[in-house]
Structure 1
């Protein structure tokens, strides 16, 4: 989901933006859209499926003073598949299909405990609840049917391998009516891969783990989809590249070149 505000629609003093999304009855900071320059497009890889997502940006001048907020813009992504990605490398996310969730995912039970205890003070007949509020989803049994070995390898790669360390957090997006947040950040402490028919020459594996909802990594951290290396790979000279686009913004939004540099 791309979000772009033309500089001509903003106060002339505007220099930077902070982009927010309202979804799942929560306010989110949009990854890659935090303290960005005016005229920069943002790709929201965390936009939920099947529910309204409402965006607006707070605008700042060069001194860091707020100039207020833009108007709201609401979108609904009509996606029936399950998508999973590493929030720091969203372009390498995978689509697992509409039937990817295993039948026993969640075991039909979603827990969001309220942490605290009942305390009985001296002389009191009734207890007093002392607590710190409600937590996110905990100990949710999550399982995916992965229909190819390539997808299984890519899934494992999102969690790191022998050469590359990753954060151990995934963003899982499911369509309704699955009873977890539509944008669900979960720790993956012990991913278990179960071969279903690989031993007989098939491709199907199941990946299962116990999911606990966590805060996402800092929203200012993200690997860009389109890089200058991609642009350099597409055009042999700077003059040729400059001639292909009316503005630098158009160039920065040519996602068809993403990944061209390998």
Structure 2
């Protein structure tokens, strides 16, 4: 089957490295698609790409691509009655580490439900120095046996890992705190953490934070250090996301509707112009 997506990689920090996944064509009777990606052998639904309206084509911005490893995208197509039409062909995008990180001690942290909340920060020396994963298991000794029988479950994710985040500016520090909500907003305490080799962590790590300790370093350049304790969790539901680009942002960029219409060759071009993200405030 054909219909492979077109992938456009953005390496800037507006707000963070991302991949625009566009399906210019889909099977004739397709009404919706579910977009997914595979990273390091693990399949993830693409946030905002589940149940996506796809008559005449579709697109979704993946704000959580892994860095330095292949991200393989495809979609399952469905009729209006919900009958699967099969999968599109796959396409692969790899974001080169040197294009987005200044050195291997850096990482990208974002709030999955609001991709516009994202920073690039340095990892402190204690991060991932020791990583603990648990295995629920016990040893049972059958009657008369000299050795036991191991009975256990599957290896679990990372537990209670120290994560030290060093922010170069107070603005980045404020952004990190905003990822957990505030007086007028609320987000689950789950972060998307993206690192590169040789850091011994999953390239796409979703982690729940149970503790935050903030220390301000007053020197020639003020830096803020956060010591977090995190545990690996599943990403939040993929249908939940606050879009970075809104219709009001596009409207704010043009004085008239005619000017807006003249600026784009197609609806798809208009709706994927992320240079206008946030213009409406």
Same fold (TM over 0.5): yes
Partner Cα distance (2:216, 2:141) in 1: 52
Mapped pair 1:173 → 2:194: yes
Q: Does 1:95 align with 2:120?
A: yes
1:32 aligns with 2:48: yes
CA contact (8 A) 2:159 2:232 kept: yes
1:64 to 48, 63, 82: 82
TM-score by length of 1: 0.92
Q: Which moved more, 1:123-132 or 1:62-71?
A: 123-132
In structure 1, what is the Cα distance between the partners aligned to 2:125 and 2:244? 34
Distance 2:252 2:73 in 1: 34
Deviation at 1:72, TM superposition (A): 1.4
- Give me the whole-angstrom Cα distance separating, in 2, the residues matched to 1:40 and 1:224: 16
TM-score, with length taken from structure 2: 0.86
Give the corresponding residue for 1:110.
131
Tell me whether 1:260 sits opposite 2:279 in the alignment: yes
- The one-character-per-residue Cα deviations of 1:139-190 (angstroms, maximum 9, x if unpaired) are 2111111111111111111111222221100000011111110111001111
Q: Distance in 2 between matches of 1:157 and 1:66?
A: 40
The structure with more helix, counted as a fraction of residues? 1
Hey, what's the Cα distance between the residues in 2 that align with 1:124 and 1:20?
48
Gaps of at least 5 residues in structure 2 are 1-18
For 2:257, the equivalent position in structure 1 comes to 238
SS in 2 for 1:190: strand
Q: Which residue of 2 aligns with 1:144?
A: 165
SS at structure 2 position matched to 1:218: coil
SS, match of residue 147 in structure 2:
coil
Partners of 1:142 and 1:121 lie apart in 2 by: 43
2:12 maps to which residue?
A: none
Note if contact 2:67-2:94 (Cα within 8 Å) is conserved in structure 1. yes
- Tell me which residue corresponds to 2:14: none
Give 5+ residue unaligned stretches, structure 1.
none
After TM superposition, the structure 1 stretch with the greater mean CA deviation from structure 2, 228-237 or 168-177, is 228-237
The whole-number CA distance in structure 2 between the counterparts of 1:182 and 1:206 is 22
- Render the CA deviation track for 1:191-237: whole Å, top value 9, x for unaligned: 1111222xx57411111111110011100111111101112212233
Counterpart of 1:14 in 2: which secondary structure?
Answer: coil
> What secondary structure is seen at the aligned counterpart in 2 of 1:150?
helix
Change (3 A) 1:185 1:68: same
Q: What is residue 67 of structure 2 aligned with on the other side?
A: 49
C-alpha distance after superposition, 1:94-143 (max 9, x if no partner): 122xxx1111212x222222112112233332222222211011121111
Q: What's the C-alpha RMSD, in Å, of the aligned pairs?
A: 1.5
Say which SS state the counterpart of residue 23 (structure 2) adopts: coil
